[in-house]
Structure 1
Amino acid sequence: MIQKSIMIPSTSPARGGLRLTPLALAVALSLGTSAHAAEGGALELDATTIEDSSLGADETGQLGYTVESTRSATGMKLSPRQTPQSVTTITRQQMQDRDIHSIEQALETAPGVTASKMEVGGRTEFRARGYGISNWKIDGLQYPGSTDFSGGGAALNMDMYERVDIVRGANGLLGGTGDPSAAVNLIRKAPTKTFGGSAYATYGSWDKRRLGADLNVPLSEDGRLRSRFVVTQQDANSFRDNQSERSRAALANFAFDLSDATTLNAGYQYEYSKTVGGGWGANIPIWFADGSKTNLPRSSNLAPSWSFGETETQTVFAGLQHRFENDWELELKGSQSSIDALSHRGLAKVNSLRRGVYGGYWDQDGGGAILNGLHQSTDTTQQSAQIDLSGPFQLLGRTHQAMVGYSDSRTVAWSPQYSCTMVSNGQSSGPVTGCLFRANNGLPISNWHDGVDDDLNMLASKTGLHSKVTTRLQGMYAATRLSITEPLSVIVGARTSDYSAITRGVDGSRTSQHNNGVVTPYLGAVYDLDDNYSLYASYTDIFTPQTQQTVSGGTVEPIRGQSYETGIKGEWFDGRLNASAAYFRTKQDNKAVLDGDLTTPTGNSAYKAGTGQETDGIDLELAGALTPDWNVYAGYTYLHFRRVDSDGRQDPSHLFKASTTYRLSGALDRLTLGAGVTAQTNIRAVSSPAGQPSNGISTGPSDVNWSGYAIWNALAKYQVTDDTSVTLNANNLFDKHYYTRYGFYAGAIYGDPRSLSLTVNTAF
């Protein structure tokens, strides 16, 4: 979709005197009341309608802050109401309103999703329902999208994508892995048959500068051959000392209609991201060496100027779609992504002195800080392919749906071994194979009040050895949606998966893991109470292979478990407003947890199978148009831990997110105002494996309180002409002090202070 705002007209004809009693129910759901609370008319807005026969979904199926349908949960094209799981979509309109340009910003907006950082500009774990998200897709194809030192998530630039679908709960039918948290599916921008485009320029706090352009060009007069080009670039400094960021991306996507029923597409995509001043681990300590709490400025960042992490991703993709006369559809698609990730990081932090003992705590007088260091690179290639056949069929006088498919993904991650030396004037650490400098072998900083000494450096060179991890995931799956009666539909499906992981260590050792014929069943049911409301329930097994390595160099055994969900959904105004209330329960065993301070043969942190977790909770969500000029997007999640593994909690019990925009009327009808909030309660977390020190050292974890917070944002958008707008965005409006990590190796990471950005956007 070319970036051009579409507003619902306020002069739409009445629809038989329709009242907003359904809206009362939607609001009641968001407040946690029963599904029938609205019938008494506690909230009733007479003669408010949203109706215009000329207004429907755009070419991508988006309706402002919601979507017409999605395939991301079951592979079948279903409306949000008819999908028996919690499905959230971050649309192009939302991304434009909120000034969202990265996957981290997009998921921070999504209900039920939290982000837990391990360092600045490095590893960020996105979590849902008490578990880390590991199931990433682009256009339905598996993608190594985790935001870590080797994944491509850090480079995911949202200017390249139309929308993001987030299926909360297990998605074993299509995902190939039954990740109990969520599956994230990014939908890439595709060419359309009409010429058009948009461009924008943004300037914001800390010298943020961003430019982008999106151009759709038909290459034949009838539009059968068409193209889409997107380019974007950003440079920005930071509120932290020594930190800056750079990103750029480009997309070229082509489509050709071989016939009225067959379309071929192919393209190339490039994404790059680099953070200078990003360290290795949480960048500020919770405690001084004497055990007292620190209260450091948010600008504190004891990372040297040479510390950085960068990710570069190149992807080629192609697909073929054929529509049969009986409304069945065949789709073949494939892609290959090459991800080059390099980390050359330094940071003064707490780390291991010897087994079970941790040091490097700062003294208040400026002593005690030790520069840690990490150097590593990974070249990852992922090839993914998928074939799907879906469509309707008639049985016993009723229309049903079916789908069958096969997916195959192969990932090869190649990591060279390095030898490093940390040096300064007059001293040297000596060569360290594996390039991990901790409290026991890093170099001291003269006075942390003055930052890292200018003469401290880390030199790296390849040893000529490398490790290699090859994983393959194949699966066949099938599902059918049976219309049992007029109000009742049942979805029955299953997937059988083959998984293998072969690891070759730097010493030539070889370990392997194979799981063949793993069957993942899926069962869902939807019962329509009336034209607006539906009850639903779903169940699926959990099977998630893990890549974390044990102390011997092998991989931790796969996760097993079950996922249940049931609830009620509502849909109004031809799908322009959707709401849901869900109860979920998930059980997970064997989740990888840190194996103390032990390391793998390559020097990385070792993991073991944990005791697992069991969670349940409630999800409430509302998305779409409340009135012709009022868009809203809100979600509340209550999460209860029945069982917690040894890594402790990283998730709040209560999470609320809301975002809304309202276009004024009359003489101010060119002005749109918006506001939003992200609020979460405190987390009874664990500072692990290092905790509160005594006499400068600690010997184990400590319980900590990760304080809750509420972060507000606001926007004002003025439509200068029909095609040009100016938008002012304010994030963390009240400049709240909060943490995006608290308790990792006795450290913490501050969230962003208040920031402003001004964007000029024009469409043509």
Structure 2
Amino acid sequence: MISKSIMTQIPCLRPSDKRLAPLALAIALGISAHATAADQGVLELDATNIEDSALGADPSGQLGYTVESTRSATGFALTPRQTPQSVTTITRQQMQDRDIHSIEQALETTPGVSISKMEVGGRTEFRARGYGVTNWKVDGLQFPGGTDFSGGGAALNTDLYERIDIVRGANGLLGGTGDPSATVDLIRKAPSRTFGGSAYATYGSWDRRRLGADLNLPLSEDGRLRSRFVVTQQEANSFRDNQAERSRAALANFAFDLDDATTLGAGFQYEYSKTVGSGWGANIPIWYGDGSKTDLPRSTNLVPSWSYGEVDTRTAFASLQHRFDNDWTLDLKGSQSTIDAVGQRGLAKVNSTGRGVYGGYWNQDGSGAVLNGLYSSTDTTQQSAQFDLSGPFQLLGRSHQAMFGYSDSRTVAWTPQYNCNLLSAAGVGPTTAGCMYRANNGPAIGNWHDGVDDDFALLVSRTGLHSKTTTRLQGLYAATRLSITEPLSVIVGARTSDYSAITRDVNGGRSSQHNSGVVTPYLGAVYDLDDTYSLYASYTDIFTPQTQETASGGRVEPIRGQSYETGVKGAWFDGRLNASAAYFLTKQENKAVMDGDLTTPTNAQAYKAGTGQETDGIDLELAGSLTPDWNVYAGYTYLHFRRVDSDGRQDPSHLFKASTTYRLPGPLQRLTLGAGVTAQSNIRALSSPAGQPTNGVSRGSTDVNWSGYAIWNALAKYQVTDDTSVSLNANNLFDKHYYSRYGFYAGAIYGEPRSLSLTVNTAF
């Protein structure tokens, strides 16, 4: 059922005139709500219509800015307080309030997660606890969601998803790989028995136009056969020169109750994203050729008109759930995703000229810039399946839980080889196998002040050769949650994984990597101090296969390590407000780092096993409702590097994110105001592998300071009727100049300036 606010039907809560501390005020307001309903006896609501975050969870288990329970961390349906790890949920209400429609926008609001771009409209790395996020799921199934040149992350459209769970720290029990950063699990919108729907239209800065509709349609009178349809489309220009974006998505999800205990599900979804004017690498140089700092306009984007990146993802999925009479549940689910990723990219930037020397630095008189070019395409198919059996059991007079499962994913990536010719006024350039033009073979730009020369063109043809990589990850896992005493519960589990990756390059060479019987233990404990507070601790091993290739064409060996976490959690107002404070420690070995200017047999950047990293820190988080009218969401992370590998740091030591909305009382009760901030400290980063030049060239890395920043946003929403609202969102309210990348190949990427968007939303 589509969530529909009924806040306008609820009496406003007013604090007394006596001054109260913020927490005391919140508690007093919560008690006042219950007392008012009990004393007056006038609040009569049909239970089937109560879906507001302050009163009860919606069909997907959401409570405004928090959730009733989550399975993403342990496989057991546990409240946030009873989960022995840091878990954040981006709810549907948060996405609507913050005008979030992409995975990048969602993770920008997530506590503990930082973002580092490698180019405009291309690769974006999401990082947590000092490591890149590589473990992606949809409805619990493995999904190739990375935002590299072959992943589907760039097309992930959050209009199709009900919520997003982010488990910070290693998730070796369910993740398949013990990623030490975080696991991102997107939960699809599912059909319910009641007819309902919503639609919206948005117009914003840089001619951003977006339309979306969501329809829940029962297909039988009793709702046993039901469906959910979602469609959305966006077109927008950009603050950058020569850049425009286009995206669209659709979801058809069906469910059929075979009987009272068995439900069959099936569906299909489509996600598409294209960025015209995307580049290959950071699009703003940090230094001119003479070594002095640049100060270029944020609109600068030296790309040709034919430069673009495009991702097309199609997913079919099915599920079967059976609920036994003894409260055990059997879940079977599977999916197949096909991702077509194409990039024809051109950009004036610094790059290798060979033998550890880097050139292509811009000179202030307009000379020096060299057009780099890259054409690549990858067709990726991933098949994922999962079996779970879970339920309660009795032992020694107490009730416990058990879970058994098996997961299997197989990914085939097929990459054709291309020959390219980069044309210019000087004529047709030499044919390049692999379609990669760097500072040593790209054409010079006449005057970069005037943009990229109009006569440049890229001619592409297939050679008939291709590389193919087949990856398979299988795992058996089991866990039990033992109720040792009334206040103490312990989760003990383990996973055994088999991993294989076989690559055949364009020349017919074969390389492989196999790891069998890798055991990943998991241990978690929660001790309830009282009805509000709990102490917890957890431990798991780290095992993460890596996809980066070495100079010889093989895979970098898997990451190994350990992840520890301990802390305290609290829950108030029947779970509508949750808070946590955690200390974490992560040790990691073998993480892939760039191997200088060496390339793989297919001319991609080569990597090698690094010296490893070790981090620890503190996570603080608060999410939920202080009153029926007041939602809050905030998190602070302190990150300390005990040991850093050769690629240097990309993470801030201090990261703070907060967002809040408040519905005004009395005559203004139809008006909701909101504000938020994302702030991070400076990063002592590394411009690598190219650094500050001397006489137009550099021969190594340079330490740089990636300045900290605070980005504010604001919201005003007016409920025109009970069903229709108008919202105004402002991002980067004070128009802060900041960077979303600083120090990659002597380049940087500007963050987005101030933008506004106006949305009309209606429900039916």
Q: Same fold (TM over 0.5)?
A: yes
Report 1:291-370 matches (<5 A).
291-370=291-370
Structure 2 residue aligned with 1:165: 165
Indicate the residue corresponding to 2:51 in structure 1.
none
SS of the residue corresponding to residue 108 of structure 2 reads helix
Match of 2:206 in 1: 206
Whether 1:497 and 2:497 are equivalent positions in the alignment is: yes
CA deviation vs aligned residue, 1:82-102 (integer Å, no higher than 9, x gap): 000000000000000000000
Match of 1:397 in 2: 397
Q: Is the 8 A contact 2:8 2:670 kept in 1?
A: no
Equivalent positions of 1:498-517 (< 5 A) are 498-517=498-517
Structure 2 distance, partners of 1:629, 1:91, is 17
CA separation of 1:256 and 1:43: change in aligned 2, threshold 3 A: closer
Q: What is the alpha-carbon distance in structure 1 between the residues aligned to residue 709 and residue 10 of structure 2? A: 37
Partner of 2:40: none
Which residue matches 2:61?
Answer: 61
User: Could you tell me whether the CA contact under 8 Å between 1:634 and 1:659 is conserved in 2?
Assistant: yes
Distance in 2 (CA, whole Å) between partners of 1:382 and 1:761 is 36
- Cα distance in 2 for partners of 1:546, 1:634 equals 33
Counterparts in 2 of 1:1-400, with a 5 A limit?
A: 2-7=2-7, 11=11, 24=23, 45=28, 48-49=31-32, 51=34, 55-400=55-400
SS in 2 for 1:320: strand
State the alpha-carbon separation in 2 of the partners of residues 156 and 194 from structure 1. 27
After superposition, the C-alpha distances for 1:677-697 in whole angstroms (9 at most, x for unaligned) are 000000000000000000000
What is the CA distance between 1:262 and its match in structure 2? 0.2
Report Cα offsets for 1:335-354 as digits up to 9, x if no partner.
Answer: 00000000000000000011
When residues 317 and 42 of structure 1 are mapped into structure 2, their CA distance, relative to the original with a 3 A threshold, is closer
User: Normalization by structure 1: what TM-score?
Assistant: 0.96
Q: Deviations over 1:711-742 (max 9, x none)?
A: 00000000000000000000000000000000
Would the aligned equivalents of 1:535 and 1:567 in 2 still touch at CA under 8 Å? Answer: yes
Question: Is the Cα contact below 8 Å between 2:73 and 2:171 reproduced in 1?
Answer: yes
CA distance in 2, matches of 1:464, 1:44: 69
* Maintained 8 Å contact 1:288/1:362: yes
Matches of 1:409 and 1:46 in 2, distance apart?
A: 49
SS in structure 1 at match of 2:552: coil
Tell me how far apart the structure 2 counterparts of residues 103 and 221 of structure 1 sit (CA, whole Å): 36
Residue 37 (structure 1) aligns with: none
Cα deviation code 1:239-261 (max 9, x no counterpart): 00000000000000000000000
Size of the aligned set, in residue pairs, is 743
Q: Is the 8 A contact 1:171 1:180 kept in 2?
A: yes
Q: State the AA in 1 paired with 2:757.
A: S
| Aligned position for 2:593 | 593
Alignment match, 2:477? 477
Aligned to 1:437: 437
Q: Which amino acid aligns with 1:555?
A: R
Structure 2's unaligned 5+ residue stretches are 38-44, 48-54
Conserved? CA contact 2:622–2:633, under 8 Å: yes
Query: Aligned-pair distance for 1:355?
Result: 1.5
Aligned residue type for 1:531: D
Q: 1:49 to 1:680 in 2, by over 3 A?
A: farther
Percent pairwise identity: 81
Given that 1:12 and 1:49 are in contact with CA atoms closer than 8 Å, whether structure 2 keeps it comes out as: no
Q: Report the alpha carbon displacement of residue 10 of structure 1 after superposing the two structures with TM.
A: 5.7
Letter of the 1:732 partner, please give it. Answer: N
Q: Is the 8 A contact 1:50 1:573 kept in 2?
A: no
Q: 1:440 to 1:50 in 2, by over 3 A?
A: farther
Amino acid across the alignment from 2:284 = I
| Separation (CA, whole Å) in 2 of partners of 1:274 and 1:6 | 38
How far residue 457 of structure 1 moved from its aligned partner, in angstroms, is 1.1
Q: SS state of the match for residue 80, structure 2?
A: coil
Tell me how far apart the structure 2 counterparts of residues 633 and 377 of structure 1 sit (CA, whole Å). Answer: 40
* 594 and 13 in structure 1: CA distance in 2 versus 1, 3 angstrom threshold: closer
SS at match of 2:259: coil
Deviations 1:353-376 (A, max 9, x none): 112100000000100000000000
- The letter for the 1-side match of 2:375 is H
Superposed displacement of residue 334, structure 1: 0.1
Per the alignment, in what secondary structure is the counterpart of residue 173 of structure 2?
helix
Aligned mates of 1:643, 1:707 — CA distance in 2: 22
Superposition pairs of residues 484-633 of structure 1, within 5 angstroms: 484-633=484-633
Distance 1:2 1:249 in 2: 18
Q: Give structure 1 stretches of 5+ with no counterpart.
A: 25-40
Q: Answer yes or no: is the 8 Å Cα contact 1:20–1:44 preserved in 2.
A: no
SS at match of 1:443: coil
**1:415 aligns to what?**
415
Q: 2:596 corresponds to which letter in structure 1? A: G
The residue identity in structure 2 corresponding to 1:385 is A
Contact 2:252-2:269 at 8 Å conserved across structures: yes
Distance in 2, matches of 1:607 and 1:174, equals 28
Shift, 1:563, TM fit: 0.1
> Partners of 1:137 and 1:47 in 2: how far apart?
36
Is the Cα–Cα contact under 8 Å of residues 30 and 626 in structure 2 kept in the other structure?
A: no
**Contact 2:288–2:294 at 8 Å: present in 1 too?**
yes
Q: Equivalent residue of 2:82, what SS?
A: coil
The answer (yes or no) to whether the contact 1:95–1:101 under 8 Å persists in 2 is yes
Whole-Å Cα distance in 2 between the matches of residues 597 and 291 of structure 1? 21
Tell me the residue number matched to 1:38. none
Distance in 2, Cα, partners of 1:688 & 1:392 = 53
- Residue type of the alignment partner of 1:310: E
8 Å CA contact retained: 2:8, 2:669: no
Deviations 1:382-421 (A, max 9, x none): 0000000011111111111110000000000000000111
Cα RMSD (Å): 1.6
Query: Could you report, residue by residue, the CA deviation over 1:435-469 in whole angstroms, capped at 9, with x for unpaired residues?
Result: 11000000011000000000011111100000000
Letter in 2 for 1:459: L
**Alignment match, 1:657:** 657
Distance 2:99 2:549 in 1: 38
SS of the residue corresponding to residue 364 of structure 1 reads coil
Three-state SS of the structure 2 residue aligned to 1:75 is coil
User: Which residue pairs with 1:694 in the alignment?
Assistant: 694
Deviation of 1:627 (Å)? 1.3
Question: Structure 1 residues 20 and 328 mapped into 2: Cα distance closer, same or farther (>3 Å)?
Answer: farther
Cα offset for 1:3? 4.9
- Whether contact under 8 Å (2:674, 2:715) holds in the other structure is yes
Write the distance in 2 (CA, Å) between the matches of 1:596 and 1:746.
14
Contact 1:126–1:133 (CA under 8 A) maintained in structure 2: yes
**Relative to 1, partners in 2 of residues 1:49 and 1:511: Cα closer, same or farther, differing over 3 Å?**
farther
SS at match of 1:278: coil
Post-superposition offset of 1:429? 2.4
The CA distance in 2 between the partners of 1:444 and 1:550, in whole Å, is: 31
Aligned to 2:459: 459
Residues 22-66 of structure 1 show CA distances to partners (whole Å, capped at 9, x for unaligned) of x73xxxxxxxxxxxxxxxx79975775454795311100000000
Separation in 1, partners of 2:282, 2:390: 47
Matched AA of 2:628 = P
The answer on whether the counterparts of 2:3 and 2:58 sit within 8 Å (CA) in structure 1 is no
SS in 1 for 2:81: coil
TM-score by length of 2: 0.96
Question: 8 Å contact 2:6–2:722 — kept in the other structure?
Answer: no
Asked if the contact 2:26–2:627 (Cα under 8 Å) also holds between the matched residues in 1, the reply is no
Q: Which moved more, 1:553-562 or 1:421-430?
A: 421-430
Structure 1 residue aligned with 2:427: 427
Shift of 1:8: 9.2
Question: What is the identity, as a one-letter code, of the residue corresponding to 2:318?
Answer: A
Give 2:438's aligned amino acid.
R
The whole-number CA distance in structure 1 between the counterparts of 2:522 and 2:95 is 32
Please state how far the C-alpha of 1:13 moved relative to its aligned partner: 10
- C-alpha contact (below 8 Å) 1:716/1:728 kept by paired residues: yes
Alignment partner, residue 755 of structure 2: 755
